[in-house]
Amino acid sequence: MRKITYRDALREALLEEMQRDKTVFLLGEDIGRYWQGAFKVTKGLAEKFGEERVLDTPISESAIIGTAVGAAITGMRPVAEIMFGDLVTLAMDQIANQAAKIHYMFGGQSRVPLVIRTPFGGGVNIAAHHSQSLEAWFMHVPGLLVAVPSMPSDAKGLLKAAIRNDNPVVFCEHKLLYPIEGLVPEGEYTLPFGAAEVKREGKDVTIVATMFMVHEALKAAEALEKDGLSVEVVDPRTLVPLDKKVIIDSVRKTGRLVVVSEDCKTAGVTAEIAALVAEEAIDYLDAPIKRLATPDAPIPFSPPLEKHLIPDEKSIIQIVKKIV
């Protein structure tokens, strides 16, 4: 394996799947020759595959997803890019009422092999319209799969699996992950949906974290080790389906749970995972479950205020020490 960035791992997945299957094509705003993607994930793909398979679209998220849904149900495998995750709001009817429901409402006679790639999260000071984490919305819609890869290897393996899946997938990418490097297998490599991974073994407390918060949790775990605390870090990798077994097995081992996610705390990712453990593994707990998420507030433009709101290594360390 070689070390490449999260961005390059995504690009490699797209390249390999477009070479493997001629029904795979990309569409989105500014993904083609001129801009090559807002975060440069699609760099070079228009030159290689042409403008018929890397489509620069008008500035209309509803048109992007509407076109992708139509293409998917007629035999193509579109990968639609929404430039910022916040802008999925402009295509929620196509996502939640069309893509998610067509297979069911047509009695299984139609399928929607669609991937919607979009970056979520803050940390880059671009204010309330471009910094939200809305992945929990899609957990709430039956018919959608939700991927939240944190590492370059996860990004490649899950994106290739998503493109081959016959169901619509919302593929969430955190903006701060794009430049992060990691070991990634070359060539054919996929990861199954619904398979969490223990990123770090521990025995005193379990931290379940998603996307960029996995990296903050790993840094916190390393710092806490110096204080004699052994922290296990679990990365769900997909939220739908959610790997309950790995999470519960970890809680059974450590007896304590902290759940960390960047989305808002109310009715968010941390709430669902905490409820799962409370319902199915409460007898294994030696302390109350703790949740760490962004407060229920818009993300401010001010860098100090944004930093204050979003969970980080320091706030994870503080909350772990409270329950150990």
Domain limits, the chain: 2-184, 197-323
Q: What is the predicted pLDDT for the residue at 187?
A: 87
Q: Which of 236, 172, 242, 244 is nearest to 210 (CA)?
A: 236
* pLDDT tens digit sequence for 64-108: 999 999 999 999 999 999 999 999 999 999 999 999 999 999 999
pTM above 0.75, yes or no: yes
Alpha-carbon distance of 290 to 302, in angstroms, equals: 28
Which residues in the chain come in under a pLDDT of 70? none
pLDDT of residue 34: 85
Q: What confidence score (pLDDT) does residue 35 get? A: 87
CATH, range 2-184: 3.40.50.970
Residue whose C-alpha is closest to residue 88's, from 123, 126, 109, 118:
118
Instruction: Tell me the CA distances in angstroms from 305 to 8, 64, 89, 125, one per residue in order.
Output: 31, 34, 25, 10
Architecture of domain 197-323: 3-Layer(aba) Sandwich (3.40)
2-184 and 197-323 have identical folds: yes
Q: What is the DSSP string of 93-123?
A: IIIIIIITTHHHHTTTS-----EEEEEE--S
Q: Which helix (H) or strand (E) holds 78?
A: strand 77-81
Name the catalytic one among 103, 129, 130, 174.
Answer: 130
Q: Is 103 annotated in the active site?
A: no
| Tokens describing residue 288 | 């109350």
Q: Of 261, 276, 222, 289, whose CA–CA distance to 134 is shortest?
A: 261
User: What does the alpha-carbon distance between residue 214 and residue 223 come to, in Å, rounded to a whole number?
Assistant: 14
* Contact by Cβ (8 Å): 225, 203: no
Give the pairing of strands 2-5 and 181-184: antiparallel
Q: Angle of helix 244-254 relative to helix 269-280, nearest 10 degrees?
A: 70
Task: Give yes or no for a contact between 152 and 97, defined as CB atoms under 8 angstroms apart.
Answer: no
